[in-house]
Amino acid sequence: MIKPIIEVNGLASGYVKGLNILQGVDLVLKEKEVVSIIGPNGAGKSTLLKAIMGLIPIFGGKIFFNGNELKEIKSFELIQKGIAYVPQVSNVFPSLTIEENLEMGLWTTKDKQNKFFEEIYSMFEILFQKRKERAGNLSGGQRQLLALGRALISKPEVLLLDEPSAGLSPKAIDEVFGYIENINQSGVSILLVEQNAKRALRFCNRGYVLDQGRNAYTGLGKDLLNDEKVIDLYLGKL
Protein backbone atom coordinates (compact mmCIF):
# COMPACT_ATOMS: atom_id res chain seq x y z
CA MET A 1 0.00 0.00 0.00
CA ILE A 2 1.35 3.41 -1.01
CA LYS A 3 1.60 5.57 2.11
CA PRO A 4 0.46 9.21 2.32
CA ILE A 5 3.34 11.64 2.43
CA ILE A 6 1.24 14.78 3.01
CA GLU A 7 -2.18 14.82 4.67
CA VAL A 8 -4.29 17.93 5.11
CA ASN A 9 -7.29 17.55 7.42
CA GLY A 10 -9.97 20.24 7.81
CA LEU A 11 -7.54 23.06 7.09
CA ALA A 12 -8.65 26.62 7.83
CA SER A 13 -6.15 29.28 6.84
CA GLY A 14 -5.82 32.78 5.47
CA TYR A 15 -3.92 36.02 5.70
CA VAL A 16 -6.06 37.70 8.38
CA LYS A 17 -7.54 35.97 11.41
CA GLY A 18 -11.29 35.70 11.10
CA LEU A 19 -11.20 35.93 7.29
CA ASN A 20 -10.32 32.37 6.32
CA ILE A 21 -9.69 31.71 2.65
CA LEU A 22 -9.44 27.96 3.24
CA GLN A 23 -12.47 26.61 5.06
CA GLY A 24 -11.99 23.00 6.04
CA VAL A 25 -9.91 21.69 3.12
CA ASP A 26 -8.88 18.02 3.00
CA LEU A 27 -6.12 16.64 0.77
CA VAL A 28 -3.80 13.64 0.51
CA LEU A 29 -0.57 13.34 -1.49
CA LYS A 30 0.95 9.86 -1.68
CA GLU A 31 4.50 8.76 -2.39
CA LYS A 32 5.67 9.31 -6.00
CA GLU A 33 2.28 10.77 -6.91
CA VAL A 34 1.34 13.89 -8.85
CA VAL A 35 -1.74 15.65 -7.46
CA SER A 36 -3.20 18.70 -9.20
CA ILE A 37 -5.25 21.41 -7.53
CA ILE A 38 -7.57 23.33 -9.85
CA GLY A 39 -10.43 25.76 -9.43
CA PRO A 40 -11.53 29.29 -10.27
CA ASN A 41 -9.53 32.38 -9.30
CA GLY A 42 -9.77 33.06 -5.59
CA ALA A 43 -10.61 29.46 -4.72
CA GLY A 44 -7.61 29.17 -2.36
CA LYS A 45 -5.28 27.05 -4.50
CA SER A 46 -2.10 29.07 -3.95
CA THR A 47 -3.13 29.75 -0.37
CA LEU A 48 -3.18 26.00 0.27
CA LEU A 49 0.44 25.64 -0.86
CA LYS A 50 1.50 28.60 1.26
CA ALA A 51 -0.25 27.11 4.30
CA ILE A 52 1.49 23.76 3.83
CA MET A 53 4.81 25.60 3.49
CA GLY A 54 4.25 27.53 6.73
CA LEU A 55 4.14 30.91 5.01
CA ILE A 56 0.72 31.92 6.35
CA PRO A 57 -1.03 31.13 9.65
CA ILE A 58 -3.24 28.11 10.22
CA PHE A 59 -6.42 28.80 12.19
CA GLY A 60 -7.85 25.29 12.21
CA GLY A 61 -7.22 21.74 11.06
CA LYS A 62 -3.94 19.85 10.77
CA ILE A 63 -1.18 19.15 8.25
CA PHE A 64 0.92 15.97 8.43
CA PHE A 65 4.18 15.14 6.67
CA ASN A 66 5.23 11.49 6.78
CA GLY A 67 2.81 10.96 9.65
CA ASN A 68 4.13 13.83 11.78
CA GLU A 69 2.05 16.93 12.37
CA LEU A 70 3.53 20.15 11.04
CA LYS A 71 2.91 22.60 13.83
CA GLU A 72 4.74 25.87 14.38
CA ILE A 73 7.54 24.79 12.05
CA LYS A 74 9.37 27.48 10.10
CA SER A 75 9.62 27.29 6.33
CA PHE A 76 13.38 26.66 6.30
CA GLU A 77 12.85 23.73 8.67
CA LEU A 78 10.27 22.27 6.27
CA ILE A 79 12.86 22.48 3.50
CA GLN A 80 15.31 20.58 5.70
CA LYS A 81 12.62 17.97 6.36
CA GLY A 82 12.09 17.40 2.64
CA ILE A 83 9.48 19.85 1.28
CA ALA A 84 10.42 22.33 -1.47
CA TYR A 85 8.29 25.13 -2.86
CA VAL A 86 8.40 27.04 -6.16
CA PRO A 87 6.13 30.12 -6.01
CA GLN A 88 4.45 31.58 -9.05
CA VAL A 89 6.24 34.93 -8.92
CA SER A 90 9.59 36.15 -7.61
CA ASN A 91 10.98 32.63 -7.81
CA VAL A 92 14.50 33.64 -8.89
CA PHE A 93 16.95 36.41 -7.95
CA PRO A 94 17.26 38.38 -11.22
CA SER A 95 20.41 40.30 -10.23
CA LEU A 96 22.32 37.10 -9.39
CA THR A 97 23.83 34.67 -11.86
CA ILE A 98 22.35 31.23 -12.41
CA GLU A 99 25.17 29.73 -10.37
CA GLU A 100 24.58 32.18 -7.52
CA ASN A 101 20.85 31.41 -7.60
CA LEU A 102 21.61 27.71 -7.21
CA GLU A 103 24.01 28.48 -4.36
CA MET A 104 21.10 30.14 -2.56
CA GLY A 105 19.42 26.74 -2.53
CA LEU A 106 22.34 25.26 -0.61
CA TRP A 107 21.92 27.33 2.54
CA THR A 108 19.44 24.88 4.08
CA THR A 109 21.64 21.84 3.42
CA LYS A 110 24.46 20.53 5.58
CA ASP A 111 26.39 19.23 2.57
CA LYS A 112 27.87 22.11 0.58
CA GLN A 113 29.68 20.01 -2.01
CA ASN A 114 29.51 20.69 -5.72
CA LYS A 115 27.89 17.32 -6.43
CA PHE A 116 24.51 19.07 -6.15
CA PHE A 117 25.48 21.42 -8.96
CA GLU A 118 26.63 18.54 -11.13
CA GLU A 119 23.26 16.81 -10.76
CA ILE A 120 21.29 19.99 -11.52
CA TYR A 121 23.45 20.88 -14.51
CA SER A 122 23.11 17.32 -15.77
CA MET A 123 19.32 17.60 -15.60
CA PHE A 124 19.08 21.17 -16.94
CA GLU A 125 21.84 21.56 -19.54
CA ILE A 126 20.73 25.09 -20.47
CA LEU A 127 21.50 26.21 -16.91
CA PHE A 128 25.06 24.90 -17.23
CA GLN A 129 25.51 26.70 -20.54
CA LYS A 130 24.29 29.99 -19.05
CA ARG A 131 25.59 29.50 -15.49
CA LYS A 132 27.55 32.80 -15.45
CA GLU A 133 24.68 34.87 -16.84
CA ARG A 134 22.30 36.90 -14.71
CA ALA A 135 18.95 35.25 -14.09
CA GLY A 136 17.21 38.46 -15.15
CA ASN A 137 18.40 37.85 -18.72
CA LEU A 138 16.73 34.44 -18.98
CA SER A 139 13.50 33.73 -20.83
CA GLY A 140 10.39 32.90 -18.81
CA GLY A 141 10.81 29.19 -19.43
CA GLN A 142 14.49 29.26 -18.47
CA ARG A 143 13.66 31.13 -15.26
CA GLN A 144 11.16 28.42 -14.38
CA LEU A 145 13.82 25.74 -14.95
CA LEU A 146 16.18 27.68 -12.68
CA ALA A 147 13.50 27.87 -9.97
CA LEU A 148 12.98 24.10 -10.29
CA GLY A 149 16.71 23.47 -10.15
CA ARG A 150 17.18 25.55 -7.02
CA ALA A 151 14.28 23.76 -5.32
CA LEU A 152 15.82 20.38 -6.15
CA ILE A 153 19.14 21.35 -4.56
CA SER A 154 17.65 20.43 -1.17
CA LYS A 155 16.84 16.88 -2.34
CA PRO A 156 13.10 17.14 -1.50
CA GLU A 157 10.64 14.32 -1.09
CA VAL A 158 7.81 16.68 -2.01
CA LEU A 159 7.76 19.55 -4.49
CA LEU A 160 5.02 22.20 -4.28
CA LEU A 161 4.56 24.00 -7.61
CA ASP A 162 2.43 27.12 -7.95
CA GLU A 163 1.35 27.86 -11.54
CA PRO A 164 4.56 26.68 -13.27
CA SER A 165 3.15 27.46 -16.74
CA ALA A 166 2.01 31.02 -15.97
CA GLY A 167 3.11 33.48 -18.65
CA LEU A 168 5.01 30.90 -20.70
CA SER A 169 4.78 30.17 -24.41
CA PRO A 170 3.23 26.84 -25.49
CA LYS A 171 6.70 25.51 -26.35
CA ALA A 172 8.12 26.53 -22.97
CA ILE A 173 5.11 24.99 -21.20
CA ASP A 174 5.76 21.66 -22.93
CA GLU A 175 9.40 21.83 -21.89
CA VAL A 176 8.65 22.68 -18.26
CA PHE A 177 6.06 19.92 -17.93
CA GLY A 178 8.53 17.48 -19.46
CA TYR A 179 11.02 18.32 -16.72
CA ILE A 180 8.33 18.09 -14.03
CA GLU A 181 7.47 14.60 -15.29
CA ASN A 182 11.14 13.60 -15.10
CA ILE A 183 11.37 14.95 -11.55
CA ASN A 184 8.34 12.89 -10.54
CA GLN A 185 9.76 9.77 -12.17
CA SER A 186 12.90 10.24 -10.08
CA GLY A 187 10.75 9.64 -6.99
CA VAL A 188 9.64 13.13 -5.96
CA SER A 189 5.97 13.57 -5.04
CA ILE A 190 4.45 16.68 -6.63
CA LEU A 191 1.57 18.90 -5.54
CA LEU A 192 0.70 21.12 -8.48
CA VAL A 193 -1.46 24.24 -8.70
CA GLU A 194 -2.03 24.98 -12.36
CA GLN A 195 -4.13 27.50 -14.31
CA ASN A 196 -4.34 25.18 -17.32
CA ALA A 197 -6.84 22.85 -15.66
CA LYS A 198 -7.24 20.42 -18.54
CA ARG A 199 -3.52 19.93 -18.88
CA ALA A 200 -3.14 19.57 -15.11
CA LEU A 201 -5.79 16.84 -14.98
CA ARG A 202 -4.26 14.97 -17.91
CA PHE A 203 -0.87 15.18 -16.22
CA CYS A 204 -1.75 14.13 -12.67
CA ASN A 205 -2.64 10.88 -10.94
CA ARG A 206 -5.39 12.54 -8.89
CA GLY A 207 -6.93 15.96 -8.72
CA TYR A 208 -8.78 18.23 -6.33
CA VAL A 209 -11.18 20.98 -7.33
CA LEU A 210 -11.37 23.86 -4.85
CA ASP A 211 -14.17 26.41 -4.89
CA GLN A 212 -14.53 29.26 -2.39
CA GLY A 213 -11.99 27.68 -0.07
CA ARG A 214 -13.66 24.28 0.09
CA ASN A 215 -13.33 20.90 -1.56
CA ALA A 216 -15.75 20.72 -4.48
CA TYR A 217 -14.65 17.54 -6.27
CA THR A 218 -11.83 15.01 -6.05
CA GLY A 219 -10.88 11.92 -8.01
CA LEU A 220 -8.55 10.50 -10.61
CA GLY A 221 -7.35 13.14 -13.03
CA LYS A 222 -8.83 11.32 -16.03
CA ASP A 223 -12.18 10.93 -14.25
CA LEU A 224 -12.40 14.62 -13.37
CA LEU A 225 -11.45 15.50 -16.91
CA ASN A 226 -14.50 13.62 -18.18
CA ASP A 227 -16.93 14.49 -15.39
CA GLU A 228 -19.83 16.45 -16.89
CA LYS A 229 -20.34 18.58 -13.77
CA VAL A 230 -16.65 19.44 -13.53
CA ILE A 231 -16.58 20.27 -17.24
CA ASP A 232 -19.67 22.45 -16.99
CA LEU A 233 -18.71 24.25 -13.79
CA TYR A 234 -14.93 24.56 -14.07
CA LEU A 235 -13.15 23.33 -17.17
CA GLY A 236 -15.12 25.57 -19.46
CA LYS A 237 -14.16 28.58 -17.38
CA LEU A 238 -10.46 27.87 -16.89
For 165-202, the pLDDT digits (tens) are 988 999 999 999 999 999 999 999 999 999 899 999 99
Q: What is the pLDDT of residue 154?
A: 87
162 has pLDDT over 80 = yes
- When mean pLDDT is compared across 60-64, 114-118, 231-235, the lowest value belongs to 114-118
Q: What is the residue-wise DSSP string for the chain?
A: -PPEEEEEEEEEE-SBTTB-SEEEEEEEEETT-EEEEE-STTSSHHHHHHHHTTSS-EEEEEEEETTEE--S--HHHHHHHTEEEE-SSS-S-TTSBHHHHHHHTTTT-S---THHHHHHHHH-HHHHHTTTSBGGGS-HHHHHHHHHHHHHTT--SEEEEE-TTTT--HHHHHHHHHHHHHHHHTT-EEEEE-S-HHHHHHH-SEEEEEETTEEEEEEEHHHHHT-HHHIIIIITT-
Q: How confident is the model at residue 74 (pLDDT cuts 50, 70, 90)?
A: confident
Q: What is the pLDDT of residue 60?
A: 95
Residues paired with residue 86 on neighbouring β-strands, in sequence order = 161
> Domain segments of the chain: what residues?
4-235
Of 86, 45, 84, 53, whose CA–CA distance to 70 is shortest?
53
222 has pLDDT over 80 = yes
Say what percent of the chain tops pLDDT 70. Answer: 96
112 has pLDDT over 90 = no
| More confident call, 237 vs 131 | 131
99 has pLDDT over 80 = yes
Q: What is the pLDDT of residue 107?
A: 72
| More confident call, 76 vs 34 | 34
Q: What is the pLDDT of residue 108?
A: 65
Q: What is the pLDDT of residue 109?
A: 64
Q: How confident is the model at residue 212 (pLDDT cuts 50, 70, 90)?
A: very high
Q: What is the CA radius of gyration of the chain?
A: 17
Q: How confident is the model at residue 104 (pLDDT cuts 50, 70, 90)?
A: confident
114 has pLDDT over 90 = no
237 has pLDDT over 60 = no
* Average pLDDT estimate for 191-214: 95
Global pTM? 0.93
Say what percent of the chain tops pLDDT 90. Answer: 78
The answer as to CATH 3.20.10.10 being correct for domain 4-235 is: no
